[in-house]
Structure 1
Amino acid sequence: MKSYKRYFFILIGMILAVFVICGAIVVYVDPFFHFHTPVSGFPYIVDNQLSQNPGMAMNMEYDGCIIGSSMTVNFDTDDFKEILGTDTVKLSYSGAYPRDDYNILSFVFDKNTHARKKNPMKQVYFAVDIPTMTADPDETKYPLPTHLYDKSVINDVKYLINKDVLFEYIFRPAIQKKGSDLSEIYFSWWTPEYYNIEWVMHNYEQPEINPVETEKDGLIERTEVNLSRNILPFVEANPDTEFYFFFPPYSILYWNNVMRENTFEATMEQYRYVAERLLQYDNARVFYFQTMDETLNLSNYADYSHYKPAINKFMVECFKDGKYEIKSVDEMDKGLKIVRKMVADFDFADLFSREW
């Protein structure tokens, strides 16, 4: 009996030792950057927005950040450095709701993190997706791994003793010696040949026609809540940080969706309202890219909204030279008027009459 007890305790000791060793490896490499900055020379794989964004916001060294949905994933942070002189970190969440933006900005502006102790926050480049501004203000797009977002140390065991973290983010890259290019993390999978009208139209599905029109101000109430609760508090609390808010250039098919959903006037009013609210702040700049001629050419897209990386670089250049910047509500009204004409003049009937 004593012999069995001895072997039992040896087994328990061995298991605990394995757990300690695994946890120590995770802490040292820290593939989700939860505890510290990257270890020099390790080939980190960065492909998990939900799990890796908080750590990057806390511990990467940067003075600018890119916030928003998949409309931001094709930004190359090298462009921000070369064109704007800003060391940026990309903190995209595909399909991001305003609450996702709030969650990550809470890390960005946390003065107790390594990132903020090291550098002041100079610029935020923020994609404002109008369709998501009516989301539940407390809802995230996907369930969060809360142990990487909260302040508790106890539940970090879910990160420290995790086979996926060990095998997929430590052992695999260590063996393959190939990590992510941190300037291009989260890039969409579409290669250049996917950006063409045939691909877009072949995969496009029109929404059902809604016979009931949304009232002109029908989207404003929820939009106001999201602005006031999830976005504007950061603008107000950080007057020395310059916020570049931009409306992404969805393709003309986006407006076909809006018309079929019978929300055209409500959406136009929503754009105007958001711009008006943002323009009230001296540290906020607003860019409206929906008036770009490129939105009419579906070969610039891989689907109805996602544009090619060259457009991302062009937007960075606009942040530098001020092209497509909206400086007043009157200018926003002019931009919306241009979009009205673009939509009215576009031959949707011809587009949908062709075989794709």
Structure 2
Amino acid sequence: MHIRHLTLLLASALVTTLAVAAVNLAVDPLQLFHGSAHPYYTTDSRMQSAGLIRSQEFDTAFIGTSIALYVRPSSIDLTLGGKSIKLAAPGMTSPEQRFVLETAISTRHPKRVIWMMDDFAFRSAEDVDTLDYLPADLYRLNPKGVAGYLLDLTMLRDSLGIAARRFQDLDMTMTQLTWIGVLRFTEDNLDNLNTVHSAFVSNRYRRDLAWKSFRHNRDNPARLRLRYNQAKVEQQFRHDAIDFIRAHPDVDFTIIFPPYSILNFIALREILPRDYAVFFRINSYMLRQLAALPNVDLSIFEQLKRSLTISTNMRTFGTTRRRSTNSFFGACGMEFTGSTGKSRTSSSTRYGNRSKPIALTVRGEH
């Protein structure tokens, strides 16, 4: 009798497990195994990027941290041509960025990588397999990652929610469930994923708030203190950036830098001059190392021009004019001519004139 009950229990568990896997495979929220006629995307960028790499066709991979999330892939496509994919995530460390880029390059073989590079990202040397918030096995799509994906009960809930949205009577209910966080796959427009609404931009990025933040930093210097070691940052930079770029000579890397408010650096210089000196030395070192690579194109943001202000419905990430760019590089003992001067002819032919300034726009929704 006990054996019969045990057999029924095991059979029920097996059927339930197979049913969960079958539903997740059929809907496939991340589109790891097949496409979808009506896809939805999650704002969990670390998880979603694993699916985007497998499901999207692209020749340009764009990666960075929080600011990079604001950029729409269509803006990159319009400015530079080609088809891009955004693989950015908030607080993304350099080991994460290298791992995600490695997966993208080995899977889809993009011709170009646009890398919004931040010195703070190189503070960490953690192994990606130790990070609970990064599903590394999902990127690898190994047995552990596949099993975890297909048998995930939270993913089952998302699968059922996506399936239910195909019924008009249930669509509003499912939408409301996404608003309260029950369902994670909220966005049906990939270009809008993790971008910001124009109202948010106009309310959060104003002159008075910028000065308020500056005064707050001035009164609380601990917020500005650099909590990393210069030697370790440079070592991690060589490993995760320089060595990685050298390992992919057939990929063109366009390096851009986050357009942080100039007030942050003014505050750092006035309040913590030693930290400012460390910051400047690290960035000078990064620029010199990057400029020596033949498949790297450098684009430096001008942080004092209107192109970096945030208006009601647009934020422009623009590069500097040549004079101001030369002054920046000149401080680092370098001369800027619009590109590294070592770019291959094939790169210029493929994407047009590489010395042309790159402007990435972030348009708010209306």
TM-score, structure 2 as length reference: 0.71
2:262 matched residue in structure 1 = 252
Alignment check: 8 A CA contact 2:187 2:193 kept: no
Alignment check: 8 A CA contact 2:262 2:304 kept: no
For 1:240, which of 244, 250, 268 is the aligned residue?
Answer: 250
Where does 1:1-356 land on structure 2 (aligned, <5 Å)? 1=1, 5-33=3-31, 35-39=32-36, 41-110=37-106, 113=107, 115-116=108-109, 121-133=110-122, 135-138=123-126, 143-150=133-140, 152-154=142-144, 156-168=146-158, 170-177=159-166, 179-188=187-196, 190-200=200-210, 205-206=216-217, 208-209=220-221, 220-259=230-269, 260-262=271-273, 263-294=275-306, 300=310, 310-312=314-316, 314-315=317-318, 324=321, 332-333=329-330
Alignment check: 8 A CA contact 2:29 2:162 kept: no
Q: Which runs of 4+ in 1 moved over 6 A?
A: 325-330
What is the aligned-residue RMSD (CA, Å)? Answer: 3.4
Q: CA deviation at 1:153?
A: 0.3
Cα distance in 2, alignment partners of residues 327 and 242 from structure 1: 25
Deviates further, 22-31 or 101-110: 22-31
- Closer/same/farther in 2, CA of residues 131 and 28 from structure 1, 3 Å limit: same
Q: CA deviation at 1:78?
A: 1.1
Cα distance in 1, alignment partners of residues 82 and 324 from structure 2: 23
SS at match of 1:250: coil
- Closer/same/farther in 2, CA of residues 124 and 146 from structure 1, 3 Å limit: closer
Q: Report the residue type matching 1:180 in the other structure.
A: D
1:343 matched residue in structure 2 = none
Q: Report the residue type matching 1:125 in the other structure.
A: I
State, as a whole percentage, how many aligned pairs show the same letter.
18
Deviations 1:252-286 (A, max 9, x none): 23214523333122222222211111111121111
- Closer/same/farther in 2, CA of residues 139 and 146 from structure 1, 3 Å limit: closer
Alignment check: 8 A CA contact 1:275 1:329 kept: no
Aligned residues: 304
Q: CA deviation at 1:151?
A: 5.6
Q: CA deviation at 1:209?
A: 3.7
TM-score, structure 1 as length reference: 0.73
What are structure 1's unaligned runs of at least 5 residues? 302-307, 338-356
Q: Report the residue type matching 1:13 in the other structure.
A: A
Alignment check: 8 A CA contact 2:114 2:253 kept: yes
- Closer/same/farther in 2, CA of residues 142 and 280 from structure 1, 3 Å limit: farther
Cα distance in 1, alignment partners of residues 157 and 145 from structure 2: 20
Q: CA deviation at 1:84?
A: 1.6
Cα distance in 2, alignment partners of residues 223 and 206 from structure 1: 24
